[in-house]
Amino acid sequence: MIRTDQGHVVRALTIAGSDSGGGAGIQADLKTMHQFQVYGMSVLTSLTAQNTNGVQGIYEVTPEFVRLQLESVYTDLGIDVVKTGMLVNTKIIHTVASFLREIDIEKVVVDPVMVAKGGTPLLRQESVEILKDELLPLAMVITPNVVEAEELCGYSIRDFEDCHRAAIDIAALGPRAVIVKGGHMPPDWIKDAPNLVVDLVYVGGEFTYFASERVDTYKTHGTGCTFSSAITSMLARGASILESVGMAKAFIYEAVKRAKTWDVGAGHGPTDQSAPIPARFEPMSSAFYVFRNGRWNEESR
């Protein structure tokens, strides 16, 4: 495990739902944190009966028990960075936000999980407003996909230009960095490079674009959880926001590529978090690109 400059093991907490199939949620988060050599801890908000074919059932943990788990972790182990995933309902969001305010933690990554791949809602519709009001002001980084970005900004996103507008509007709700993920963007949105999957990052008033080749596969269950946990782990290790996103992007590309040929489940198979973590993000290599100052393939930092 990696240690901080002060000599203690780097500790990351995920507050999320359980995926019995092991591909997304708490399980994907902990596997990813472990791969990044960060000590992973978990507070469960819900249990899903889930596999690669879909979600068969959801059991919601009480807000009181969520609170108890948070206190157990904080009072003994300590927390360097927090990631939130499936938060299910208004009371749990309120409980989590109150706790984060109390401990006054800087590094908070919010993955605003709303719907599972097969279409099952993982957050109640009426809870989106409280997510915006209570949790977003506490976030250092938020990682919506296009559909989640639409819910947060309140209008439909029809092209890549709209993604920019949405990122600016979501940043106005509080997060220091907004990452609009490209997994669900239609290929023709990226004019010069239709076979790339591009994640748009808005931080410090500037846009940076992280792109990789799009792996031709339907086995992408858990990509969002894995990507945000990789960012969380890198932030915990002391990396900057852009460095963290770059490393996460390189990692998720490998994790999706490796899962393409494996035989885990009959449906939307999970990503493979045993992929190696890159030594650093390589913007000039064949698979990765960064777009800045009007050109592809410039140095990322």
Ligand X SMILES: Nc1ncnc2c1ncn2[C@@H]1O[C@H](COP(=O)(O)OP(=O)(O)OP(=O)(O)O)[C@@H](O)[C@H]1O
Ligand Y SMILES: Cc1ncc(COP(=O)(O)O)c(N)n1
Binding region for ligand Y (CB under 6 A) out of 64-72, 90-98, 200-208, 218-226? 218-226
Contact 112, 152 (CB under 8 A): yes
29 touches ligand Y by CB under 6 A: no
19 is in the binding site of which of ligand X, ligand Y, none (Cβ under 5 to 8 A by kind)?
A: ligand Y
Q: State yes or no: residue 197 binds ligand X (CB under 6 A).
A: yes
Picked from ligand X, ligand Y, none, the partner binding residue 123 (CB below 5 to 8 A depending on kind) is none
Cβ neighbours of residue 163 under 8 Å, at least 6 residues apart? 146, 149, 157, 180, 185, 189, 200
Output 123-131 pairs: Cβ under 8 A, ≥24 positions apart.
123/86, 123/87, 123/88, 123/89, 124/88, 124/89, 124/90, 126/90, 127/87, 127/88, 127/89, 127/90, 127/93, 128/152, 130/90, 130/93, 130/94, 131/87, 131/93
The binder of ligand X chosen from 182, 269, 270, 283 (CB under 6 A): 182
Q: Which of 175, 224, 246, 283 binds ligand Y (CB under 6 A)?
A: 224
Query: How many CB atoms lie under 10 A from the CB of residue 238?
Result: 14
Applying the rule CB under 6 A, the residues between 110 and 129 that interact with ligand X are 117
Q: What's 222's DSSP letter?
A: T
Q: Should residue 225 be labelled a site residue for ligand Y when binding is judged by CB under 6 A? A: yes
Q: CB–CB of 137/173 below 8 Å?
A: yes
Restricted to residues 62-101, the positions that interact with ligand X (CB under 6 A) are: none
Is there binding between residue 131 and ligand Y (CB under 6 A)? Answer: no
Q: Looking at the annotation, which residues are catalytic?
A: 181, 220, 222-225
- β-sheet bridge partners, residue 110: 84, 142
The C-alpha angle with vertex 208 and arms to 300 and 257, in degrees rounded to 5, equals 75
Tell me the two tokens of residue 127: 């809870």
Name the minimum Å distance from CB 1 to ligand Y.
24
Tell whether residue 223 is a contact of ligand Y (CB under 6 A).
yes
- Rank residues 40 and 269 by Cβ distance to ligand X and give the closer one: 269
Asked if 231 interacts with ligand Y (CB under 6 A), we say: no
Stretch that binds ligand X, among 3-11, 36-44, 78-86, 246-254 (CB under 6 A): 246-254
Determine, following the binding rule CB under 6 A, whether residue 19 of this chain makes contact with ligand X. Answer: no
CA neighbor of 179 nearest in space, from 214, 247, 228: 228
Q: Contact between 229 and ligand Y (CB under 6 A)? A: no
- Among 63, 222, 246, 283, the residue binding ligand Y under the rule CB under 6 A is 222
Are residues 79 and 41 in contact, defined by beta-carbon separation less than 8 angstroms?
yes
* Calpha distance 234→244 (Å, rounded): 5
Binding mask 252-281 for ligand X (x = CB under 6 A): xx--x-------------------------
* Residue type at position 140: M
Q: Is 184 in the site for ligand X (CB under 6 A)?
A: yes
Contact positions vs ligand X (CB under 6 A)? 117, 145, 181-184, 197, 199, 212, 214-215, 217, 220-224, 227, 249, 252-253, 256
Contact positions vs ligand Y (CB under 6 A)? 16-19, 24-25, 48, 50, 85-86, 113, 116-117, 122, 221-225
